[in-house]
């Protein structure tokens, strides 16, 4: 039997076919003995690729807009979103390790063909929305640092396909090493900017306390849902359930339990790092723009221009641009991988790895490039925030299947999620759906 084909619990309709990202599937060896930290290190990596999606350029736009307009109030949204993300990503790892399939493959197997195609279309829509945000962010970063026109910057972002191909040829660990290195650069840039901004830490702490105004104020809710959409992203659920299978964790139940434990630790630690970055973006906007009465700052370019004069240090805008560029590069890499997982899982298209990546990247980048070139320098912030709200609206169509699968003992076997976790996950799914319904009602009311 092909090493990439596994036995799965009997609750699935069919044996799983070719694995996600077959060229790197089970390519990273893990230890089954020795010190716990050594075993944990073997599983460290996928969580940081997932964390990238929680701090992409679209998140920057929503966090800057929220911080400049409402100060520290929306920090609680970043915290709640992060808790939701930790729960949902742990379920992704559980699904992958227990069933040997990613979320896209699971949907194709579990649902009738028309339903699976609708879910595929929605997943592709979410990836296109993600790519619009990432292409814009990367192009703006190139423009801010090197003066490269946006139109040319968009074309340059397409080259990440070849970067992924080169790194994966060296081994998937090289992809993870690139992502983690760029995340480190982002963290250093924000640490310096936060130190320069000198925020009111008492107000920062109060910002993590919930307030009913977030739900009752339509404008605040719109930004809150944008932050939610930028934090808990649909494509990340597909991505994590695919890349966690790059580890050769074995087939026995003890080996799978160990894999689940360390994969969950990896994603939880990485997402706490993402919260740190997300909160830093919002705190920086609140401490510089909101504090000085610049309450309408949402454009990334405007934020870049204002940081220098407000902080009184010439290097601040450069740090902002470098961090933005690193975020854009990271996000385009992970979105491309997610696009490949979605296409292979839902449609079972088997192509050469380089051709698969070109197609999945092309599906997303062509509309992203068209929109970016059309909008130019103006209106990019509104477009970025809109893409995050679109992602939030798509989220339920990935979350509900994920929770359903991991709650089904016939599908998950001994690794079925405990009842308390499923109850919490369903609560998260219902809250996301309810907030989206309220957002739509508010929009219809305004349009009426």
Structure confidence at residue 40 as a pLDDT band (50, 70, 90):
confident
Alpha carbons 46 and 194: distance in angstroms, whole number: 28
> Per residue in 104-117, pLDDT tens?
999 999 999 999 99
Distance, first Cα to last Cα, the chain: 61
pLDDT of residue 2: 43
Q: What is the dihedral of CA 317, 269, 271, 45, to 10 degrees?
A: 90
Q: Output the CA–CA distances (angstroms, integers) from residue 82 to 56, 126, 174, 227, 228, in the order listed.
A: 14, 19, 27, 10, 9
pLDDT of residue 262: 94
DSSP 8-state class, residue 288: I
> Per residue in 362-412, pLDDT tens?
776 777 677 767 766 565 656 666 776 777 778 889 999 999 999 999 999
Structure tokens at 143: 């423009």
* 8 A C-beta contact, residue 314 and residue 297: no
Residue with tokens 């491309």: 336
> Per residue in 45-79, pLDDT tens?
999 999 987 777 767 777 888 889 899 999 999 89
Alpha carbons 155 and 362: distance in angstroms, whole number: 11
Alpha carbons 13 and 198: distance in angstroms, whole number: 57
Our CA angle for 414, 267, 389, nearest 5°, is: 110
Question: What residues form DSSP beta bridges with 29?
Answer: 248
Residue 254 has pLDDT above 80, yes or no: yes
Nearest CA-CA partner of 264 in 428, 402, 408, 91: 91
* 8 A C-beta contact, residue 74 and residue 290: no
Residue 1 has pLDDT above 50, yes or no: no
Query: How many CB atoms are closer than 10 A to CB 447?
Result: 6
For the chain, domains (ranges, CATH) are 28-447 (1.20.1740.10)
Predicted TM-score (pTM) of the model is 0.86
What percentage of the chain has pLDDT greater than the value 90? Answer: 33
Structure tokens at 402: 């994920």
pLDDT of residue 6: 43
DSSP 8-state class, residue 111: S
Q: What is the dihedral of CA 174, 175, 178, 180, to 10 degrees?
A: -100
Structure tokens at 232: 């808990």
Radius of gyration of the chain (CA): 21
* 8 A C-beta contact, residue 214 and residue 225: no
Least confident among 61-70, 304-313, 350-359: 350-359
b/e sequence 56-70, b meaning 16+ C-beta within 10 Å:
bbbbbbbbbbbbbbb
Question: What residues form DSSP beta bridges with 247?
Answer: 28
* 8 A C-beta contact, residue 368 and residue 154: yes
Q: Give the mean pLDDT of 343-350.
A: 85
Nearest CA-CA partner of 95 in 425, 439, 433, 432: 425
């Amino acid at each position: 039997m092909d090493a990439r084909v596994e036995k799965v619990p009997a609750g699935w309709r069919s044996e799983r076919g070719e694995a996600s990202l077959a060229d790197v599937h089970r390519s990273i060896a893990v230890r089954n003995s020795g010190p716990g930290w050594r075993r944990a290190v073997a599983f460290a990596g996928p969580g940081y690729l997932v964390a990238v999606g929680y701090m992409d350029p679209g998140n920057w736009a929503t966090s800057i807009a929220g911080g400049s307009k409402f100060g520290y109030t929306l920090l609680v949204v970043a915290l709640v979103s992060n808790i939701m993300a930790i729960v949902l990503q742990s379920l992704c790892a559980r699904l992958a390790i227990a069933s040997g399939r990613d979320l896209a493959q699971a949907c194709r197997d579990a649902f009738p063909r028309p339903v699976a195609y609708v879910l595929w279309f929605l997943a592709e829509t979410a990836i296109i929305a993600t790519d619009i945000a990432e292409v814009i962010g990367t192009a703006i970063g190139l423009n801010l640092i090197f003066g490269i026109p946006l139109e040319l910057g968009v074309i340059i972002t397409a080259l990440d396909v070849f970067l992924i191909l080169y790194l994966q040829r060296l081994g998937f660990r090289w992809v993870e090493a690139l992502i983690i290195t760029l995340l480190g650069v982002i963290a250093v840039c924000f640490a310096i900017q936060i130190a320069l901004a000198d925020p009111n830490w008492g107000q920062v702490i109060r910002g993590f306390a919930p307030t009913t105004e977030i739900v009752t104020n339509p404008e605040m809710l719109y930004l809150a849902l944008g932050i939610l959409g930028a934090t808990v992203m649909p494509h990340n659920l597909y991505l994590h359930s695919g890349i966690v299978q790059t580890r050769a964790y074995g087939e026995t139940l003890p080996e799978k339990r160990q894999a689940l434990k360390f994969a969950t630790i990896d994603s939880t630690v990485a997402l706490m790092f993402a919260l740190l970055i997300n909160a830093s973006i919002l705190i920086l906007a609140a401490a510089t723009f909101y504090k000085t009465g610049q309450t309408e700052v949402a454009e990334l370019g405007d934020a870049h221009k204002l940081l220098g004069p407000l902080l009184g240090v010439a290097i601040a805008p450069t740090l902002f641009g470098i961090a933005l560029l690193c975020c854009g590069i990271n996000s385009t890499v992970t979105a491309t991988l997610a696009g490949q997982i979605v296409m292979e899982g839902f449609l079972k298209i088997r192509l050469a790895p380089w051709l698969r990546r070109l197609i999945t990247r092309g599906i997303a980048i062509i509309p992203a490039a068209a929109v970016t070139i059309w909008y130019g320098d103006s209106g990019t912030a509104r477009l970025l925030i809109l893409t995050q709200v679109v992602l939030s609206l798509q989220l339920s169509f990935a979350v509900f299947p994920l929770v359903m699968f991991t709650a089904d003992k016939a599908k998950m076997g001994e690794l079925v999620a405990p009842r308390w976790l499923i109850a919490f996950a369903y609560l998260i799914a219902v809250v996301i759906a309810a907030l989206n319904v309220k957002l739509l009602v508010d929009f219809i009311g305004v349009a009426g």
